[in-house]
Structures are given as structure tokens and as C-alpha cells.
């Protein structure tokens, strides 16, 4: 019998890529997604699609899955600041539901946590041994703290029921299929969109805050290895790059690579925007024999080409 994978949030950017990987490996896929942060259904027709919030998908408790991946989340700061309670729901009630499904199925449970669990870190690149610096009641807490809580919940299932739990913390993954319009406000698609349309690139604050970005193919590779590596049961892993870049340099690089005449404007800083973030992925390198293969420039080039082509195709 073929294996089956349940993916919450499978209609989103990361979900769509892991679906492709699963189908390539002849694994059947069920997606549960309420389309709250995506525009329309985009999963392939051979995928079973359940359109509802995972919190309400009780019927899945009676089904049997080999892998349960909880990706459903609202990871964009611009979005979760507007929807704090719904952001929390997918992390607490949603995670609980997915864990119960995994427990009853004896499945491997993979939780897509976030580098945001580190808040505004004092140690960069950040290893998993650093426990973070998060304001428990600040504007970003609806995301950061509920993600931290989800990790605690997953570990509680592991301790109480022996559920096979694996927790990854992706660092700013980007690439084709990321939502490209202004709704989400993630920096790479937004800057590329602004550069291609000749609009000013909106750098929040002085632009000296840093991030490290990971191209989606490297994320898929790490996630697949994480799901299948027997020694990775129970692990918590950073999945990211240590190639740290300031937001202002990212803006300049995108202007150069697109050949755009756009200018840079400074907009008010985001409240509690972490000042620095880059991954120490030594643990994933060792445990999964994985490392990022795609440089920032290469990934940006591919994402620019994709967005350019999409704009050409969608021109009215």
C-alpha cells in the first residue's frame, strides 16, 4: 500500500514544493488548508484537498497517515499583526489537532516551527542551544510565543505518548511560488516586485537589520532528509543559511540584478523587528548530511526570472 502524507497549509509556498516532492516519491497526499493566506487552490488534481481550518478537521482523526506535516501558519509579520488571534489558533489548536492525528496514526510528525522563536537574538549565527530573546507580550508575540508553545506541545506529545516528533526552524525561505503581491510583505518578493515595476524599494528603518535567506530547494532537501533520517527522531533543527546580509544591501542587490531604475526609500521601522538573524546549521549538517547548496545570488536570480515571467504572462 502506498504511503500517505497529510500536509496542513499545503496550498502555500512551502507546502506546494513538498507536495511535488511527495508525489515524485509516489506518496499519496492529503492537504488541509482554509485558503486564508493564499489566493486560490493551486495543488495538483491528484491531491486530496480539504478546504477548512485544521482546527475544525476532526474527521482526519479517523484516518491513517504515515507522515503528518504541520505547515499551516501565518508567517508574515505584516499579516499576523493584523490577525493576532487567528495566528495563535493555527499554532495552538491547530498544532494540537495535527499532533492528535499523528498520535492516532503512529505517524512521523514534522513541525515547521520558525527562526522567530529566537526573537531578537544575542547570539548570531544562532545555534539551537540558544533559547532566544522574545518579548512574551509584544506585537510579535502572537506568532513568536505561539510557535514556542507549539514546540512545547510537540515535545509533550513525545514525552507523554512517544509520538515521533521532529521540529524544524526554517530561516527566511524564499523562491518561486512565494506569494508575490503586497499582501504578505515578505521582503524578497516585495523588493523584486517593486524593482520590476519601477516603484521605490521600501526599506523599513535604517536597513541595517540582517537576515539569512534560504532558497526553497535547499529547504525541501533538508525537510525530506529530516522526515526520513532514523537518527533525527526527536530532533530540533535550524534549517537555514549563515550568509547574513543587511536589508539595505539586499535592496541594492535586487536593484542591480533586475537592472531597475528604482530608488530606495526609508519607511518607519517595524516594531520589534529583530536586528540580526542568521542560522548556525551545524547540527542539521551533521545529522542530515545537508548544507545549503544555492547561494543568495543564484536564488535571487531564479526568483527574479520567475516573477518576471509571471508578470509577462499576467499582463492584461
Q: Does 132 bind ligand UDP (CB under 6 A)?
A: no
140, three cell numbers: 510579535
- In the window 41-100, what residues touch ligand UDP (CB under 6 A)? 76-77
Q: Does 7 bind ligand UDP (CB under 6 A)?
A: no
Residues near ligand UDP (CB under 6 A), total = 15
> Which member of 270, 283, 285, 311 binds ligand UDP (CB under 6 A)?
270
Task: Give the whole-angstrom CA distance, residue 295 versus residue 218.
Answer: 10
Active site residue 143: yes
**What are the CA-CA distances from residue 236 to residues 39, 81, 112, 229 (Å)?**
31, 27, 10, 13
Could you say which DSSP state residue 74 is in?
-
Q: Does 186 bind ligand UDP (CB under 6 A)?
A: yes
118, three cell numbers: 529566537
Residue 74 vs 211, nearer CB to ligand UDP: 211
Pick from 189, 178, 159, 316: which is nearest to 258 by CA?
Answer: 189
CB of residue 77 to ligand UDP, shortest distance in Å = 5
Task: Give the whole-angstrom CA distance, residue 27 versus residue 274.
Answer: 38
Task: Give the whole-angstrom CA distance, residue 196 versus residue 290.
Answer: 34
> Which member of 21, 204, 285, 311 binds ligand UDP (CB under 6 A)?
204
Query: Of 66-74, 183-191, 232-240, 279-287, which segment contacts ligand UDP by CB under 6 A?
Result: 183-191
Query: Of 23-31, 52-60, 151-159, 196-204, which segment contacts ligand UDP by CB under 6 A?
Result: 196-204
Residue 143 vs 290, nearer CB to ligand UDP: 143
User: Cα 183 from chain centroid?
Assistant: 16
Q: What is the DSSP string of 213-258?
A: -EEHHHHHHHHHHHHH-GGGTT-EEEE----EEEHHHHHHHHHHHH
x/- map, 207-236, ligand UDP, by CB under 6 A = --x-x-------------------------
Q: Does 148 bind ligand UDP (CB under 6 A)?
A: no
Of the residues 80, 111, 118, 143, only one is catalytic, namely 143
Q: What is the DSSP string of 120-152?
A: S-SSSSBPTT---B--TTSTTHHHHHHHHHHHH
Q: Does 179 bind ligand UDP (CB under 6 A)?
A: no
- In the window 241-260, what residues touch ligand UDP (CB under 6 A)? 247
CB of residue 292 to ligand UDP, shortest distance in Å = 17
67, three cell numbers: 507522515
Do residues 198 and 155 make contact, with C-beta atoms less than 8 angstroms apart? Answer: no
> Which member of 139, 161, 273, 306 binds ligand UDP (CB under 6 A)?
273
> Which member of 17, 74, 179, 190 binds ligand UDP (CB under 6 A)?
190
- Which positions touch ligand UDP (CB under 6 A)? 76-77, 172, 185-187, 190, 202-204, 209, 211, 247, 270, 273
Active-site residue set: 143
Amino acid at each position: 500500500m502506498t504511503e500517505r502524507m497529510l500536509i496542513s497549509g499545503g496550498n502555500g509556498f512551502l507546502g506546494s514544493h513538498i507536495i511535488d516532492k511527495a508525489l515524485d516519491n509516489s506518496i499519496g497526499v492529503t492537504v488541509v488548508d482554509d485558503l486564508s493566506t493564499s489566493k486560490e487552490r493551486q495543488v495538483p488534481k491528484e491531491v486530496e484537498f480539504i478546504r477548512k481550518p485544521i482546527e475544525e478537521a476532526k474527521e482526519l482523526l479517523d484516518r491513517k497517515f504515515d507522515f503528518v506535516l504541520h505547515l499551516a501558519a501565518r508567517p508574515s509579520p505584516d499579516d499576523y499583526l493584523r490577525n493576532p488571534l487567528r495566528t495563535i489558533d493555527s499554532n495552538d489548536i491547530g498544532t494540537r489537532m495535527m499532533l492528535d492525528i499523528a498520535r492516532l496514526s503512529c505517524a512521523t510528525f514534522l513541525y515547521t516551527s520558525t527562526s522567530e522563536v529566537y526573537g531578537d537574538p544575542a547570539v548570531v549565527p544562532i545555534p539551537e542551544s540558544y533559547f532566544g530573546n522574545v518579548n512574551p507580550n509584544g506585537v510579535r508575540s502572537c506568532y513568536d510565543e505561539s510557535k514556542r508553545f507549539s514546540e512545547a506541545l510537540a515535545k509533550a506529545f513525545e514525552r507523554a505518548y512517544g509520538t515521533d516528533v521532529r521540529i524544524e526552524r526554517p530561516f527566511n525561505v524564499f523562491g518561486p511560488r512565494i506569494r508575490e503581491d503586497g499582501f504578505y510583505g515578505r521582503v524578497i518578493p516585495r523588493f523584486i516586485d517593486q524593482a520590476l515595476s519601477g516603484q521605490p524599494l521600501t526599506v523599513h528603518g535604517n536597513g541595517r537589520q540582517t537576515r539569512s535567506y534560504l532558497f526553497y530547494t535547499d529547504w525541501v532537501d533538508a525537510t525530506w532528509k529530516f522526515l526520513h533520517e532514523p537518527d533525527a527522531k526527536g530532533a530540533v533543527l535550524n534549517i537555514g543559511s549563515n550568509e547574513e546580509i543587511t536589508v539595505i544591501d539586499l535592496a541594492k542587490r535586487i536593484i542591480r540584478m533586475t537592472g531597475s531604475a528604482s530608488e530606495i526609500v526609508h519607511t518607519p521601522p517595524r516594531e520589534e523587528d529583530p536586528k540580526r538573524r542568521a542560522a548556525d546549521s551545524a547540527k542539521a549538517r551533521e545529522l542530515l548530511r545537508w548544507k545549503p547548496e544555492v547561494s543568495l545570488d543564484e536564488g535571487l536570480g531564479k526568483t527574479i526570472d520567475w516573477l518576471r515571467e509571471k508578470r509577462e504572462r499576467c499582463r492584461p
